[in-house]
Amino acid sequence: MSTYKNVLIAIDLSNESAKVIAKARELVGGDSSKLSLVHVVEPVAAAYPIDAYAINISRMQEEALEIATERMQDIGKQFDIPAERQHTLMGSAATEIRVLAEERVADLIVIGSHGRSGWKLLLGSTANKVLHGAHCDILTVRVGE
């Protein structure tokens, strides 16, 4: 029997997301009612040095959010996670994941990690950033490479 009752799974919507979700399902004995999904779309202006006069940044962000929401719905259906437990957010990934985990009173966050070490880990791993400041347990699932 699982000790975790409310698991938040942070995914990047890649094919590797299935591995992260599968590990979370395993931890709760396959009980999808204990699982929630989150994906965070980074603001376009933060991700790319773009001339604000050249394009409509607001529209690009709306489109990115729409595409991510559609992909999240597909993944939710595949893993039997209902729409009310699927969260597609805009902002800084680590911050939004931690805030949602607190709001949903998650007792575990499951997130994929490429297992980088050294400078790469210190300079930007989302999993590492989620870890620092989270109020609950964190499980990183090694993906890729």
- Which tokens go with 72? 């999240």
- Confidence (pTM): 0.86
pLDDT of residue 129: 87
Q: Is 9 helix (H, G, I), strand (E, B) or coil?
A: strand
pLDDT the model gives residue 22: 96
DSSP H or E run through 110: strand 108-113
Q: Where are the domains of the chain?
A: 7-142
| Confidence at 119, pLDDT banded by 50, 70, 90 | very low
CATH topology for 7-142 is Rossmann fold (3.40.50)
DSSP alpha helix (H) spans, 6-141:
17-27, 44-47, 57-78, 93-103, 119-122, 126-131
121 pLDDT above the threshold of 50? no
Tens-place pLDDT, residues 47-99: 555 555 556 778 888 999 999 999 999 999 999 999 999 999 999 999 999 99
